[in-house]
Structures are given as C-alpha cells and as structure tokens.
Amino acid sequence: MRFFIFAIAVFFFTLPLCASVPTTAAASQPEVVALADTDVLYHLEPKLARLANETPGTVAISVVDLTRGYALSINGDVNLPAASTIKVPVMVEVMRQIALGKFGFERTVSLRDSDRDYGYGSLCDARWGSKHTVWQLLFSMITVSDNTAANMLIRLVGRQNINQTMQSLGLTQTWLGDTIHSDGDVRELRTSANDMMRLLGMIADHRLINVRADDAMLEILERQRHNTMLPFWLPKTVTVAHKTGTLHDTLNDVGIVELDGSPYVICVFTTHLADLDVGERLIRRVSLLTFRAFTQNTRTAQN
C-alpha cells in the first residue's frame, strides 16, 4: 500500500478547531501529514508510516509536540470506532457542567437497570438504586473503563450535550451514537485520532475548561490501570495520562506522555484486526519509537 506524504510547516495550536475535513470510514490509501519539515516529527513520521503500512487492518496515528506545537498524523481525520476512548469526551462534559455549577463531585447518581453493562467493570453487580458520587463514577469510568459508570454519567449530563460540546470544540468526528452496552451498537461510538489529539492537547495545556477541571482530568487519566499498550515499553518513571479502548477487532490508546522538557500527546487507533495481539504490538512499537524521538530531541536541546 502506497502512502502519500505531505510536508506542511503548520503550527498545531494555530489550527482552527472548527475546521473539518470530509472522511470515509476507511482509507484505501492512508494520508500521512507531517506538520513540520525541520522538527523531530519529520524524521519520526516515515518510521510510523512504515509500521502502519505493514499492519493488517486500518491504523491511525496522531502525535503533537506540546512544547513546540508541531504535529503529525497518519489517517488522522479518518472516522473510526472510538470504543472506550469515547469516555474522555464523557468526562469532559461532566467537568464542563461542574464548572457551570450544575452539580459537584459529591453529587450522587442512583443505579438503574438500564445503566448496567457487563462488558467492563464491577459496578454492574451493584444493587439497583445504589448511590455513587460523580467523582467515584468518573474514576471508575476512566481508570478501569467501567461501562456502567459511564452510562450513569451519560444519563446525568445528557448524550446530546456531550455531542454538542464536541462539535463546539471543532471535534466533528467525535460523537456518541448510543449509550455504552456491549450487546448494543458499540461501533456507533466514533472519533478520529486528530480529534482525540486536539482534545487531550487542550487538557494538557489547561485550555479546555479551567485549571482545576483540567488538572482533575489529568489526575484521573494518570491513574489508568490498563497499561499494556502506550506505557508498556516506556520507563516506569514516565507518567502517561491515557485512556484505552477495545472491541473484538479494535484496539485504541490515547494519552499525554509527561516527558520532562518535552511532553507530547500520542493517539493510536487500530481496527478491522484479525488478531488483537497485532494491534497491541503496533501500539507498543509506535509509542516506543515516539518516546525515543522525543527523548533524543530533549537531549539535543540540552546540549
């Protein structure tokens, strides 16, 4: 499969968030965009493109240098199954409504049978009517990917409000077509690598809601317990604030790597996989190559 590579000297943070590019569900010729011809990402991009090209299925990769603003993307605007990475937008809407004073972290939500999902998490086994605070639900939804907790929060803030907030941020590829149920149409939870890169970039840069809310989201993402992909081959001393997503043929991981002196956002999506182990290996390799590139860049800057 041949890649078409475009080198464009564009500063990521000046990109209009409301801009959108028409995409299809899958691309027969993946688009590779390197948004800097003198930055470390310019040299990283061919390596990531080769990995994506060699992987069966559909792969999307987006990376942004949070210090300099340069970014690269491979199939970055292709609309793909979000799986549980959609829980990041759910968290954002919860935080937005808290900032508006609609409720606080201590607000309790009662479990209903319609909230229950037995795919991920243990909250589904709680008794009907049991009460759980918004903070507890946020923590469970992100750190252990509890689907029942996610559904309770979606019911609290409103699915349409989540979608409208993503649209208002210019994240036009991101929406919840339904609540999160393993026996439902889970492929109606949609996003793109670029949308997630922009969303996490705003959180990391404290430009999304306010400093307190953005710090709270970072704290929750840093406590992620599913760490077999982006962080797996990185030094244990490096903090990765991230969220994973899994379907029967899909593996995703999106996160902020808090590398001292050179933090970055990395989002990797894989779908139409015959074997999830292939996706896991790809995400680990992409993460390690990206980390090495940024580490080398940091050392060069210090010399």
- Is the separation of the CB atoms in 166 and 176 below 8 Å? no
Least confident of 8-12, 124-128, 164-168, 191-195: 8-12
Q: What is the mean pLDDT of residues 230-251?
A: 97
Confidence of residue 122 (pLDDT cuts 50, 70, 90): confident
Q: Structural domain tally of the chain?
A: 1
CA distances 302 to 258, 262, 263, Å, are 17, 11, 15
Q: Two tokens at 21?
A: 């590019």
Q: Are 78 and 97 in contact (CB under 8 A)?
A: no
Q: Tell me the residue range of the domain where 36 lies.
A: 4-302
Q: Report whether pLDDT(41) > 50.
A: yes
Residues in the chain, total: 303
Query: Which helix (H) or strand (E) is 217 found in, with range?
Result: helix 211-222
Confidence check: pLDDT of 10 > 90: no
How much is the pLDDT for 302?
53
Q: Which pLDDT does position 25 carry in this prediction?
A: 36
List the CATH number of the domain containing 57.
Answer: 3.40.710.10
pTM: 0.87
C-alpha to C-alpha distance for 57 and 248, rounded to whole angstroms: 13
Q: Is the pLDDT of residue 258 over 70?
A: yes
pLDDT single digits (tens) 283-298: 999 999 999 999 986 6
The 10 Å Cβ neighbour count of residue 179 is: 18
Q: Please say whether the beta carbons of 1 and 58 come within 8 A.
A: no
